[in-house]
């Protein structure tokens, strides 16, 4: 399928991108998925560590195992929640945590272990863990966010839709086991990818105006 955004102005892609949760059955080619991963690779990262890995899951069995892990985790939560209203909210949250397995492709964004130069210096100087936590700016997770945004925009430019998901990470440990990740690797997010089901997509949600979120200090 050809993209509506090939050779299109960047800002057209930026302003028209939206989250897509429902997809057609068409499977994106491995070439397109690799392009999306490459867009993530080109994102800025803390001290240019590039401490990420992008795992593209096509395999239905693997996606089902991951979905089962999420469902089992929510079933555990239900056993410890006694308030009926909260149980209902959990059920709704479970629904929005599990639709990823229906996507043609699921990216798992992995944050590889990275040692902060500044925190290492302060630790060697004798600073306590409590004090160190005040200066931990979580730059690695910000790097993952930059990569995911690149990937989302690239996918949209290629005519594909994405949904950036963190809710399924209640089963992060189980995902790591399913995928055979190394100790110290941490799954930062899932990114579903597929061709949008035009009959089941919602409008782009309203955004705050620029005046609500922007100010200039002179």
Instruction: Determine the average pLDDT of the residues in 165-193.
Output: 96
Instruction: Determine the average pLDDT of the residues in 40-48.
Output: 95
The answer, yes or no, to whether residue 162 has pLDDT greater than 50, is yes
Parse the chain into domains and list their residue ranges: 10-213
Which of the four pLDDT bands, split at 50, 70 and 90, describes residue 1? very low
Using CA atoms, how far apart are residues 93 and 124, in angstroms rounded to an integer? 43
Assign domain 10-213 to its CATH superfamily. Answer: NADH Oxidase (3.40.109.10)
Using CA atoms, how far apart are residues 99 and 106, in angstroms rounded to an integer? 11
The answer, yes or no, to whether residue 148 has pLDDT greater than 80, is yes
Global pTM value? 0.89
Helix (H, G, I), strand (E, B) or coil at 56: strand
């Amino acid at each position: 399928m050809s993209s509506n955004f090939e050779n299109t102005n960047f800002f057209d892609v930026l302003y028209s991108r939206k989250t897509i949760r429902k997809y057609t059955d068409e499977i994106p080619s491995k070439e397109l998925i690799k392009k999306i991963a490459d867009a993530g690779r080109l994102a800025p990262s803390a001290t240019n560590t590039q401490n990420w890995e992008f795992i593209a899951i096509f395999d239905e069995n693997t996606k089902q195992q991951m979905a089962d892990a999420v469902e089992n985790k929510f079933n555990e939560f239900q056993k410890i929640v006694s308030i009926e209203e909260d149980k209902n909210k959990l059920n709704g949250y479970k629904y929005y945590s599990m639709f990823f397995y229906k996507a043609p492709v699921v990216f798992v964004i992995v944050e590889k272990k990275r040692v902060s130069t500044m925190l290492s210096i302060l630790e060697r100087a004798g600073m306590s863990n409590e004090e160190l936590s005040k200066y931990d700016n979580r730059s690695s997770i910000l790097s993952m966010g930059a990569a995911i945004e690149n990937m989302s925009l690239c996918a949209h430019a290629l005519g594909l839709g994405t949904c950036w998901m963190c809710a399924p990470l209640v089963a992060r440990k189980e995902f790591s086991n399913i995928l055979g990740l190394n100790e110290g690797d941490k799954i930062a997010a899932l990114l579903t990818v597929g061709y949008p089901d035009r009959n089941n997509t919602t409008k782009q949600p309203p955004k705050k105006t620029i005046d609500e979120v922007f100010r200039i200090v002179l």
